[in-house]
Structure 1
Amino acid sequence: MLSVSEKLSIFKSYSLLIERKHKDNIRLSYKHPTATKRQKTVISEFSTKTGNGYVCGKYLSDVHSYLVDKRGWINIKNFNEENLRKIIEESMKSLEK
């Protein structure tokens, strides 16, 4: 499992993602401003305390084995670096189609 700082480093490595802080300054979201879908948020409700957060899986095909909740989000709390990068990239691509 990745630490909070490791996850933040991964998020910041994607130059297309724009960070947005929530009012409580504990949670962050990252938007993909050039996404063609109405949904532009790639990473939502990322907690800088716990490392829990969500990646948009709303437009991913059913061939992926990710557990998508009823809102269309994938919990990334226990992801390793390889899986986290993969889901972020797949989510960004799905928002561009």
Structure 2
Amino acid sequence: MLNFNEKLAVIESFPQLKRNDVSLGRINFQFPDSVTEKKNIVYHLHPNGNGFVYAGELAGYQKDKKGMVNIREFSAEDLRQIIDESIQSLSPKTIAEEAIAGEAYEETWINRDNQTLLLVEEEDMWNVYAGLNLDGTFNSYGEAIQYLDEEGFHRLS
């Protein structure tokens, strides 16, 4: 388990976040560029090492009803990953993502190296894009998911 200063160092390594000191020595970190009204990425980081990260748009985390994940027991790597994923989930779509998906159903997938792929349903097929490049086409959602899992990706949104 990381102590307060170690967690603070990891969180402060994200230049997109703005620090906001709150009561009882706690600190929030906000993402001003969020496309939603949700701005707090890190909530109530406490000097005892407890705190929360917003993961409301993310899959694979145990969240409370507000979409927050307790980070008390997180390693530095796990903390970096959830913060990065949270920022990405609240960031505006890239021009490539907007051009590819438009109004179609889409999911963003990410791997441990923070590479992202876009899974898009198009005309009864499931296409995986790396940027503007088509990476694969699948007959079913299940086949596409299996491919993404095998490649080490997990769903971001």
Matched with 2:12 is 12
Note the C-alpha offset of 1:67. Answer: 0.8
Note the C-alpha offset of 1:37. Answer: 1.1
Matched pairs, number? 92
Cα distance in structure 2, aligned partners of 1:55 and 1:8: 13
Identify unmatched segments of 5+ residues in structure 1: none
Report percent identity of matched pairs.
Answer: 34
Q: Deviations over 1:12-69 (max 9, x none)?
A: 1111100001133x11000011111110110001102x11000001111x3x2x1111
Q: 1:59 aligns with which of 57, 60, 70?
A: 57
Instruction: Calculate the aligned-residue CA RMSD, in Å.
Output: 1.0
Q: How does 1:39-58 map to 2 (within 5 A)?
A: 39-48=38-47, 50-58=48-56
2:27 paired with 1:28: yes
Note the C-alpha offset of 1:7. Answer: 0.5
The one-letter code of the counterpart of 2:23 is K
> TM-score if structure 2 supplies the norm length?
0.56
Cα distance in structure 2, aligned partners of 1:16 and 1:72: 20
Cα distance in structure 2, aligned partners of 1:11 and 1:72: 19
2:81 paired with 1:83: no
Cα distance in structure 1, aligned partners of 2:88 and 2:32: 13
More strand by share: 2
Cα distance in structure 2, aligned partners of 1:93 and 1:9: 20
Greater relative contact order (Cα < 8 A, sep 6+): 1
Cα distance in structure 2, aligned partners of 1:70 and 1:40: 17
Identify unmatched segments of 5+ residues in structure 2: 93-157
Note the C-alpha offset of 1:8. Answer: 0.6
